[in-house]
Structure 1
Amino acid sequence: MQERLTPGAPAPDFTLQNAAGQSVSLRDFRGRSTVVYFYPAASTPGCTKEACDFRDSLSSLQEAGYEVLGISPDPQSKLAAFADAEGLNFPLLSDEDHAVAEAYGAWGEKKNYGRTYEGLIRSTVVVDAGGTVALAQYNVRATGHVTKLRRDLKLDG
C-alpha cells in the first residue's frame, strides 16, 4: 500500500478519462486549488450522498477558488449514468486499475463485517494552485464530509 499523502508533499499528477471518455489531468487545474475526492462506487447510497453534497456546494467552492474532481474505480459507462442520474456538475474520473488511488494512498486494506480485503478508502486530498497537497483526509464519512471539509478549509463562518 502506498503511504498516505501529507500537507506539503507534491500531489502526484495523473491523467484519467472522464465519463465522456475525455482525458482530464490534474495539471489542467494548475493555478486553481482542486479538491480530489476518492469514492468506492457510483450509485451506492453513501457515494451518492457525498457526490450530491459536492454538487450542491460546487458554486460556493468555485467562488472560493476550488474545483472538484471525483475519482472511483468505476468504468466510464457507470460514471456517465451516475452523473446523469444525479445531475452532477463536476468531472467524475475512472481509475479502473486504481493506480491513482494507490498513488494518493486511497487504496488499501479495508474491513467490513469481519472480512478483510483490498479496496478504495474514501479519501479527500486538496491540492493547492501550485500542485502541493494542502489537506489530506482518509477514511472520511460520506455523510457530512463536504460540510466538514468546508469547515476545515475555513470557508464557513
Structure 2
Amino acid sequence: MYEAIQIVHSYWAYLVVLVVTLATINALIGFLAKKEYSPKDFRISLFALIVTHLQLLIGIIIFFVSPKVMWFSDVAVGQIMKDPLLRLYNVEHPTVMILTVVFITMGYSKHKKKLTSTPKFKKLAIFYTLAWILMLSRIPWSSWI
C-alpha cells in the first residue's frame, strides 16, 4: 500500500510544482503588468489551490504509513533531529508543505475579497510566491528526481 501511495504522491508533486509555478508567474505578471483580472486567472489560482490540497491529503496518508517517518517507532526525537535525512522527512518536509498549503489558501481567500484587478493580483502574487519558495525549499530533491 505504501509504495502505491508514494508513487501517486511523487508524480502528483510534478503537477503541483508545475501548477503552482504557473499560478505564481501568472499572478506576478498580472500584478506587474497591471492586467485586468479574468476568469482564466481565477481558474489558474483555483487549480493551484485544488492540486495542493489534494497533495496535502496524500501526504497526510503517507505520514502515517511511511517507513521513513519515525514518530511512531522507538526512535528518539533527538536521533531524528540529528540526522538530516530523518529530520527532512519527519519534520521539515511535512511542516513546510503544510505552510505552503496555508499560504496558497490564504492568498486565494484574500484575493476573492478584493474588487479590482491590481489588489487581486497583488494578494495572489505575495502569497503564491511565498508558498512557491517554501515548496521548492523542502522538496526532497535527491530522492524525487
TM tier, shorter chain? under 0.3
Q: Which has the higher strand share?
A: 1
> TM-score, normalised to structure 1's length?
0.26
- Give the structure with higher Rg (CA): 2
> TM-score, normalised to structure 2's length?
0.27
